[in-house]
Amino acid sequence: MSFRGRGSNRNRQPFDPITAVLFKIIQAITYLFVLSVLFMNPEAKKGLIDPKAEYIITVTWPDNDPNDIDTYVEDPAGQLIYFQNKEQGLIHLDRDDRGNLNDTLEINGRTIVNPLNQEVTTVRGVIPGEYVVNVHYYATENGRPVPVTVRIDKINPRLQVLYYDTLTLERKDDEKTALRFTILQDGSLGEVNHLQKSLVSKAFKRE
């Protein structure tokens, strides 16, 4: 195809709508390819959670809330994962959020604040049995109740939300069992209940 100035009609090819559509499709594919390369940039992936997990337990509370909420997870063998014991077996506390304490960075003389309050625990294998997930109001700066959301995702073979709910921790030292759930032999979710069990007392009794 020959492209000439608007004022020249010599040897102009007849307009072909199919060719024009194909050209636009090629443009779109090229654009999407460039975007995919940008998103695969390793520098942009810093801070992401390792996706090599079977389940992800995410605990969040409101952005910019200064209070410190902790996650405790007990596995079927009775092993406890929390901020002082971040790895046990196939369970890892990947992100320990301390409210405002670790949410600021100094970059080129400027203070950058990350408003997100989130703790992430990954279960990197299918271990049948009961799991207990507790949340604990560890420290406070304003003495206010804190709404805490607990979400559990099954990653393989596709992303599936197994649980999502919000509870409120009323005051400092308040501890609640968000849920107790059973993973079956095939990796699916079994029984879910909310029977309370203190994991904080168990953690600090053995220290």
Domain regions of the chain by residue span: 55-205
Q: pLDDT band for position 100 (50/70/90)?
A: low
What is the C-alpha to C-alpha distance for residues 43 and 141, in angstroms, rounded to an integer? 34
Residue type, 206: R
Q: pLDDT band for position 28 (50/70/90)?
A: low
Q: What is the pTM assigned to this prediction?
A: 0.69
Distances (CA, A) of 112 to 44, 103, 104: 17, 8, 6
Number of neighbouring beta carbons within 10 Å of residue 76: 14
Architecture per CATH, domain 55-205, reads as: Sandwich (2.60)
pLDDT digits over 107-163, tens only? 666 655 566 889 999 999 989 999 999 999 999 999 999 999 999 999 988 899 999
